[in-house]
Amino acid sequence: MRTEDLPDPDSGHPRRRPALAALCLALVVTTIDNTVLNTALPALAEALPASTADLQWINNAYTLVFAAMLITAGSLGTRFGHRRTLTGGLAVLALASSAAALSDSTGQLVAFRALMGLGAAFVMPATLSIIVALFGPRERGRAIAVWSATAGIGIVVGPVTGGLLLDHFAWGSTFWINVPLVALALTAVLLLVPPLPGRRTGRLDLPGLLLSAAGLAALVDAVVQGPERGWLTATTLAEAAAAAVLLTAFTLWELRTAHPMVDVRLFADRTFSVAGGILGITFFALFGMLFGYTQYLQLVHGFSPFKAGLGALPFALSMAATAGTSDRTAARFGPRNTVAAGLAVMAAGLGALSLITVTTPYAVLALAMGVVGAGMGLVMAPASTATVAAVPREKAPMASSVNSVVRELGGALGIAVVGTVVSASYRSQLATALPDAPAPAVADLPSAHLVAAGLPPGPADRLLAAANEAFTTALDHGIQLCALVALLGAAAALARLHRRTPAAPTPEPAPEPTSGPTQKTGAGPGTAPGQQDSPEREKASTPSPGR
């Protein structure tokens, strides 16, 4: 690789800004793909046909493989180069999306959704890792803020896109849309993102790869399937136990192997652990809230899929606004205060949402969602930057992979836990309000609407009124839990995060020329002039946060 293709340790790579645009486009593709299917589930149930269990597997196959493979993908990206794994992941995502659109059975669709999750797992951590490599210390926080804002926009654009497509086309359109999006992202990455070398140090940590993937797969499946199977069923408990054994074995192996995939000792760093945990808490609250909110808009308010997707647009706009400027906010008030304030604002918005009724006007919903988005925008970039700043630069890819895993686990756990709370509360509320309600209607709100469609007008109206009221009350209970979790996260940020993220170390001045054959410089033998010194030395010269 040419010397001019390497990033300058201080200012960054000369092509960093066009590269950031390409990386954000690739990130949007994966975040859209993670949420676009939610609005297509009713159409899938009718077209394939698919049972409730089938729909869960279609939705969860992507999440399961995506979360299980994130650490593995990050490790392989470090070894072979993150641009290579990024482009490979995008190609797999496009091919799997095409195959999913042509599926004629639920089994095929589940398999191709899993393959899509595999491709996406190689995209998301690579984008953040490349940003860390291309941007110098002065601009890195700003770049991560833009990256965070893009991720938030993608989360909400997915349902909007899915609703718009389903208003005009069949369910397969939610997969076909990925093909031109991925083609555009792949072209942008190849043209704008410079190739960065991998680091092939030591042999590949194959036991670590297998243990982490198997352990995370068991953990995610236990969390995702727990509400349906029951948290105390033999299968759920066995998966939880297997996850504990496998991840413990992974930790022990990483501590003793000469070339670990993940330096688990970094978890002893307070900033790294707390900031990562805060990201998990944030996504727990967000995804837990969105799980019931979309049903509320479509079934209680009667919005179309497209209009329901637009219902979350205030969240995206306010999050993009605060996330895009969060680096300046954190620079002025410190990351600890910024993150704590963001979680507190998020809790306030969730608290307002937890007071909604069946007749709450959309303007009130939009205002509360805007507050939630503004709070989350203040959290994402400073917390992500804190985890990256807490590790040596060469271990930033590992930090970004761990960030992605924690976010995905937090979101999955939020859906599972809040979904369980909402479901149990709905059944209790409906049984109390309408003791003679048909048994299928007590299962969930969509079933109640299906049952009502086959009843005479009088009984149907009574059932719908009772079911909508019961679900709204249950949703309030679930969102109150999300607000409480966000408040606990704010308290943890104030108590455990450092006031300021440590600044990048100042390069030592070059020594004056001296006579003699053994002149010493800041670079080691064979280091190119101007090339960054050892990241180990860079880390050693920075006060470690949390120590």
The pLDDT averaged over each successive group of 10 residues in the chain (547 residues) is 52 86 91 75 75 73 85 84 93 94 91 93 88 85 84 75 82 90 94 81 80 89 82 93 95 89 84 91 90 85 80 84 89 92 97 95 93 93 87 78 84 85 91 89 86 90 94 95 96 84 44 41 36 39 37
Do 480 and 380 belong to one domain?
yes
**Does the residue 80 lie in any domain?**
yes
Please list the residues that pair with 8 across neighbouring strands. 12
Q: Which of 173, 196, 219 is at the close of a domain?
A: 196
Cα–Cα distance between 431 and 516 in angstroms, integer? Answer: 91
In the DSSP assignment, the letter for residue 512 is P
How far apart (Å, rounded) are the C-alpha atoms in residues 184 and 223?
A: 35
Residue 147 inside a domain? The answer is yes
The residue among 196, 213, 244 that closes a domain is 196
Asked if 176 and 324 sit in the same domain, the reply is: no
| Predicted pLDDT of residue 8 | 56
CATH number at residue 21: 1.20.1250.20
In a domain, 469, yes or no: yes
Return the HEC string of 415-467: HHHHHHHHHHHHHHHHHHHCCCCCHHHHHCHHHHHHHHHCCCHHHHHHHHHHH
Are residues 143 and 37 part of one domain? yes
Same domain, 326 and 187: no
**pLDDT of the residue at 514:** 41
pLDDT at residue 84 in the model: 92
Host domain of residue 15: 7-196
Residue 230, Ramachandran bin (φ over 0: left; ψ between -120 and 50: alpha; else beta): left
Domain count, the chain: 2
Identify whether the C-beta of residue 208 lies closer than 8 Å to the C-beta of residue 262: yes
Cα–Cα distance measured from residue 493 to residue 534, given in angstroms and rounded to the nearest whole number: 31
Q: Looking at 484, 502, 520, which one is the last position of a domain? A: 502
Q: Are residues 270 and 192 in the same domain?
A: no
Question: Residue 172 in 3-state DSSP?
Answer: coil
Residue 212 maps to a domain: no
**CB of 266 closer than 8 Å to CB of 390:** yes
User: Which among 379, 401, 340, 410 has a CA at the least distance from the CA of 145?
Assistant: 379
Distance of alpha carbon 294 from alpha carbon 510, whole angstroms = 59
Q: In whole angstroms, what is the distance from residue 220 CA to residue 67 CA?
A: 7
Whether 241 is in a domain gets the answer: no
Residue 118 has a pLDDT of: 94
pLDDT value at residue 52: 61
Q: Are residues 184 and 305 in the same domain?
A: no
Task: Record the tokens describing residue 30, joined without a space.
Answer: 């994966």
Q: Can you read off the two tokens belonging to residue 186?
A: 């792949």
Residues 314 and 166 in one domain: no
Alpha-carbon distance of 148 to 325, in angstroms, equals 11
Q: Which amino acid is at 100?
A: A
Single out the residue of 505, 501, 514 nearest to residue 534, CA to CA: 505
Residue 31 lies in a domain: yes
Say if residue 270 is in the same domain as residue 404.
yes
Q: Which residues contact 232 (CB under 8 A, 6 or more apart)?
A: none
One domain for residues 332 and 469: yes
- Burial of 75 from C-beta contacts in 10 A (0-12 / 13-18 / 19+): buried
- Return the C-alpha torsion angle 448, 449, 454, 458, nearest 10: 90
Tell me, yes or no, whether 514 lies in a domain. no
366 belongs to a structural domain = yes
pLDDT of residue 57: 79
Residue type, 272: F
Does residue 370 sit in the same domain as residue 498? yes
